[in-house]
Amino acid sequence: MIRATNPTASRPRFGLTAGRAIFAAEGALALSSGYLLLLLCAATRRSTRTPAGAVAGDPRLRLVIAIPAHDEALGIEATLESLASCIYPANARRTIVIADNCTDGTAALARSAGVEVWERTDRTKLGKGFALAWAFQRLAEEDADFDAVVVLDADCHPSSNMLIAMSGCLEQGANAVQVRYVVSNPDASYASALRYAAFALMNTVRPLGKGQLGLSCGLLGTGMAFTRGLLDRVPWSVSGLVEDSEHHMRLVEAGERVDFIPYASVSSAMPTSLSASSSQQARWEGGKLHLIRRWSPRLVGSGLAKGDLERVHAGLEPLVLPQSLIAAGSMVSALAGLVLGSKRLMGLSLAALAGQLTFVLMGLRLVQAPPLVYRALLAAPALIVQKVMLYAGLFGGKRPTSWVRTEREAATTYGQAPPTEEL
Query: How confident is the model over 77-100, as pLDDT tens digits?
Result: 999 999 999 999 999 999 999 999
Fold of 52-187+215-287: Spore Coat Polysaccharide Biosynthesis Protein SpsA; Chain A (3.90.550)
* Beta-carbon contacts of residue 410 (< 8 Å; ≥ 6 apart): none
Show the CA angle centred on residue 161, arms to residues 159 and 162, nearest 5°. Answer: 70
| CA 235 from centroid of its chain's CA atoms | 21
Q: What is the value of pTM for the model shown?
A: 0.86
Exposed e or buried b per residue across 201-225, where buried means at least 16 C-beta atoms within 10 angstroms of its C-beta: bbbbbbbbbbbbeebbbbbbbbbbb
| Better pLDDT: 48 or 107 | 107
d(CA 115, CA 400): 34
- Express each pLDDT in 337-364 by its tens digit: 888 888 898 999 999 999 999 999 999 9
| Better pLDDT: 15 or 413 | 15
d(CA 349, CA 359): 15
pLDDT interval class at 12 (50, 70, 90) = low
Show the CA angle centred on residue 264, arms to residues 261 and 267, nearest 5°. Answer: 120
Residue 286 has pLDDT above 90, yes or no: no
